[in-house]
Structure 1
Amino acid sequence: MFSPWQLAKKYIHYYFTASNGKGHGVHSPFVFEFIKKVLNDKRHFAAYDQVEALRKQLLADNTCLQVEDLGAGSAISNTSKRPIARIAKYAAKSTKFSQLLFRIVQYYKPATILELGTSLGISASYMALANPAASVITGEGSIAIAEKAAANFRQLAIPNIELVPGNFDNTLPQILARHTPVELAFLDGNHRLEPTLRYFEALLLHTTEHSILILDDIHWSEEMEQAWQQVQDHPAVTLTIDLFFIGLVFFRKDFKVKQHFSIRF
């Protein structure tokens, strides 16, 4: 992973080179609509209070979990024993981006949502509450963290989440065999080049032209930047949006020319 200093430099470059976050100068009607109706939707939804109350509770929980890290390593601890509060602080998606995930689901209404990397269940909860009619399938590599996430889903009384614990290499084929097509996928698990591209290729076989793929931490490391570039270059991809911390991927066939946008958020 990049050092905090390297990330700061990259973010400054993104901030000053990205398109205006209000939509000025964006000529794609689809992207302009995304900026206006999703990115800049300032409404306050009741689900925000529900999930943020859970986050506050987790940030105060110093219970330690025995964690198996199957990804690119932890940015928060080198030990396998981690306090829930630290996982909530450093591994859970931020309020800003969790609520963006909510708005994406609320606006586009995908019926089948797949997440790789449940963590404590914050982002999955947001997505499930955004569309109660959707099926949300979320995979978590660490059994201990998965058990805590399951308890959090029960606490919030969210019925439309299926939690699948285990290594993604084993669980992803099983999930895709049962849930297809995937209309929205959020990849927030194994932050390495080869697994990220492998999961991307697997998902491609189970998407439609209206599916949305969201990659987390696209500038987290050199490997993730390489993965993001290769995803952008893939022939099936027609539009990508770089929000620095996440990247959105679209496959719509009505976009005749491949487009890439970097938008300030």
Structure 2
Amino acid sequence: MKRNNEIIDLFDLKHQTNYRKTIASIAKTSLSTPKFSAFLNRLIDHLEIERALETGTSLGINALYMAGTDNIKTLRTIEASPILASLAKKQFSELLQHKIKIKEGTIQDCFESEVTVLQPELCFIDADHRSNAVQFCVDTLMNKSESIKCIVIHDIYWSEDMADVWEKMIVDPRFTLTIDIFQAGLIFPKMQMPKQHFVLRF
């Protein structure tokens, strides 16, 4: 993907504008590091997650890492861009297609229904990098999924707005354990322990 110079048309939800990029440039700027993707895989394995939900499929790499554990039975992923969804489907068709289901649409349109149907145990939030979108996802998970064990919010320091919503998550009384690994914030809403927050070098 980092060598693919095909140009595709995309839409920026935040600024409501169209723009063009090569697949290579998307891969170079939007893909997680292999270390972080492997972390998602190990986290799912450690928590024995069978059902996971992702927002922001992009090129599909993190979905493949998450679905690559023996525990995962179903991973649903939401992508607003039809062309990115198409590129991800190509990856899934070659690897783990039987585990991954992709839903095209915005989180505002799709997220609540996906949570209701799947009842995810883990959710990886990596789509709309705006505080109101992140808050919407977290509140929906807490209200609609009785099975949720862990919420992973990617890019918590992407902007001042994202940092602000992460600070709200840290002090939210619904969450007994929060962990900051800089690339992401981890929320464990149902841990049987006094409320605690940790910052880890990752």
TM-score for the superposition, normalised by structure 1: 0.72
Q: Return the match for 2:118 from 167, 170, 179.
A: 179
Q: Return the match for 1:260 from 182, 197, 200.
A: 197
Q: Is 2:178 the counterpart of 1:235?
A: no
Structure with greater proportional strand content? 2
Q: CA deviation at 1:157?
A: 4.2
Q: CA deviation at 1:158?
A: 3.1
Cross-structure match for 1:116:
55
Cross-structure match for 2:88:
149
Q: Is 2:5 the counterpart of 1:62?
A: yes
Letter in 2 for 1:252: K
Asked if the contact 2:45–2:71 (Cα under 8 Å) also holds between the matched residues in 1, the reply is no
Letter in 2 for 1:261: F
**Partners of 2:112 and 2:88 in 1: how far apart?**
22
Q: State the SS of the aligned residue for 2:173.
A: coil
Closer/same/farther in 2, CA of residues 169 and 264 from structure 1, 3 Å limit: same
- Tell me: higher relative CO, structure 1 or 2? Use CA pairs within 8 A at least 6 residues apart: 1
Structure with greater proportional helix content? 1
**Partners of 1:79 and 1:146 in 2: how far apart?**
17
Q: CA deviation at 1:174?
A: 1.9
**Partners of 1:115 and 1:73 in 2: how far apart?**
23
Closer/same/farther in 2, CA of residues 153 and 239 from structure 1, 3 Å limit: same
Q: What 5-or-longer segments of structure 2 have no aligned partner?
A: none
1:215-262 CA deviation, whole Å, 9 max, x = no partner? 00001111001110111122210001100011110012411x210000
Letter in 2 for 1:135: T
Aligned-residue RMSD, C-alpha: 1.8
Letter in 1 for 2:47: Y
Cross-structure match for 2:44:
105
Cross-structure match for 1:125:
64
1:136-194 CA deviation, whole Å, 9 max, x = no partner? 000011111011001111122431001001111001122122111x2000000111111
**Partners of 1:188 and 1:131 in 2: how far apart?**
23
**Partners of 1:133 and 1:229 in 2: how far apart?**
30
Q: CA deviation at 1:132?
A: 5.6
**Partners of 1:221 and 1:73 in 2: how far apart?**
15
Closer/same/farther in 2, CA of residues 82 and 216 from structure 1, 3 Å limit: same
Q: Is 2:33 the counterpart of 1:81?
A: no
**Partners of 2:78 and 2:90 in 1: how far apart?**
15
**Partners of 1:175 and 1:191 in 2: how far apart?**
19
Letter in 2 for 1:153: F
Letter in 2 for 1:116: T
**Partners of 2:96 and 2:49 in 1: how far apart?**
21
Q: CA deviation at 1:79?
A: 5.8
Cross-structure match for 1:204:
142
Q: What 5-or-longer segments of structure 1 have no aligned partner?
A: 1-57
Letter in 1 for 2:40: L
Closer/same/farther in 2, CA of residues 252 and 173 from structure 1, 3 Å limit: closer
Q: Return the match for 1:137 from 76, 93, 103.
A: 76
**Partners of 2:148 and 2:81 in 1: how far apart?**
31
Closer/same/farther in 2, CA of residues 131 and 80 from structure 1, 3 Å limit: farther
Higher-Rg structure is 1
Asked if the contact 2:180–2:186 (Cα under 8 Å) also holds between the matched residues in 1, the reply is yes
**Partners of 2:136 and 2:201 in 1: how far apart?**
29
